Amino acid sequence: MVGIVICILLAALDQTAVIPAVPAIARDLGAHSQLSWIVAAYLITSTISTPIYSKLSDLYGRRRLLLVCIAAFVATSLLCGAARSLDQLIWARALQGLGGGGLMALTQAAIADVVSPRERGRYQGYISATWALASLSDPLVGGFVAESFSWRWIFWINLPIGAAAMWSCQRGLRRLASPARPARPTFDLAGTALLAGTTSLLLLALGWGGNTYAWASRQVVGLTAAGFFLLLLLVAQERRARDPVLPPRLFESASYTSYILVSTIASLVMFMCVFAIPLYFQYARGASATQSGAYVAPFMVAMAAGNVVASRWARRIGAVRPGLLVGSALACLGLLLLAVLSPIAPVWAIVAAMVLTGPGIGCCHISSMMGSQNALAAQDIGTGTGALVLLRSVGGASGSTLAGALIASATTAATAAPGRSFEMVYAVAAIFLALVFLIALRLPNASLRETVHPVAASE
């Protein structure tokens, strides 16, 4: 667990700590255009590589691939810190994402290799708490390092942390059994290329839409159309491939598909809130950027607490469905309160509604991870977890984009009453959580297994 937690810290560090250092990077490298690609390049390549590493780990073992990911992440961190131009930094960040993409999925799958589904939530709670702590502290650390030393140290600090992660994972995961695989394993190169193309085009369309280009522009429409065309080709390829990178049999399980949908929606709603909350306090309450960032802290802490509570409750009762029902209902109630509270309501009331929403979203996150892995056969743990993490990333990108579009659409209303422009964001998010509640109602109340691996795939 020490090695896995350090890997999560690495993955979180370079997603959030670099953001407050962007102005310093612009001053040092003498470039201000395309700065958003410092973050976007990492996001795209890490999302693309996640299911690929997961599939490879099912064939060649989790420990070996995790060590490769850490080594690649550390090596490319050196490149990022040594960059002499913005173009060099963007390309180095893209390469860094290829290493970082495996950290989240492989650590989750490694836990599934050694801990039964009933006990698994306890350890995934540690991961959630680490991620929440990093999300809160990394922007502060990144800003401090950039101001007091140099933005390059944000990347160079990964070297000792990565070395500690490699040492811990090498020792802690060396007893993992090697997976049973065919004498001549095959890899779905065509499916991998189509998956990478589909994800890249759709993420670019989401990132550029409403910002760089209008939603109805030929660039965004063309990217979206091309992305869905490649998606159709991907489905056809995976149906005929001998060993597909995304096996269709995964999605033949109604339970697994439902948990995947819940996970994607929960990530979408979480990023809608993370995007909207600081803007609300800046535009409607006149808070500074630093103050508005601090107001996100109660939401993030409450969400991490929801992860821990839901995982321990599932462990005690032996099922995740009750936690999913309670969590989705709680988050839906909190979002409805945020939508109906008056723009002049006291700040404590807004924060209380946020604290009510956070644990519910946390419950949905941890319950969907535990439930999906419980529905997978042993040979599909890595691939199935990778698919969940991939769609969770797409859901997160969609959430921030959707929130921005909803806020922009209410610009006129915001001029008269700034708080009103955010009501639609919270109302739409509440509808999504109501959908999660309905999905949970239809799920079977399956018991979490007491053993690490199932005999066969469960429905």
* pLDDT tens-digit map of 340-371: 887 677 888 888 999 899 889 988 888 888 88
Residue 145: predicted pLDDT: 75
Q: What is the architecture of the domain spanning 1-174?
A: Up-down Bundle (1.20)
**pLDDT of amino acid 54:** 76
Sort 190 into a burial class: Cβ within 10 Å, 0-12 / 13-18 / 19+: middle
| Confidence (pLDDT) at 312 | 81
> Whose CA is closest to 358, among 429, 414, 422?
429
User: Given phi > 0 = left and psi -120 to 50 = alpha, else beta, which region is 83?
Assistant: beta
Indicate the SS3 state at residue 213: strand
Domain 1-174 matches domain 247-447 at the CATH topology level: yes
Q: What is the mean pLDDT of residues 48-55?
A: 78
Amino acid at 227: G
How many CA within 13 A on the CB side of residue 122?
11
pLDDT of residue 140: 66
Angle at 164 between CA 158 and CA 167, to 5 degrees: 135
Residue 428 buriedness (CB in 10 A; 0-12 / 13-18 / 19+)? middle
Our measurement of the distance from residue 326's CA atom to the centroid of its chain's CA atoms, rounded to an integer in Å, reads: 22
- Kindly provide the b/e burial profile for residues 263-288, where b requires at least 16 CB atoms within 10 angstroms of the residue's own CB: bbbbbbbbbbbbbbbbbbbbbbbebe
- CATH number corresponding to 247-447: 1.20.1250.20
> How high is the pLDDT of residue 337?
92
Q: What is the pLDDT of residues 207-253, one digit of tens each?
A: 777 667 777 888 888 988 998 999 899 888 888 877 777 778 878 88
Tell me the domain boundaries of the chain.
Answer: 1-174, 189-246, 247-447
pTM of this structure: 0.74
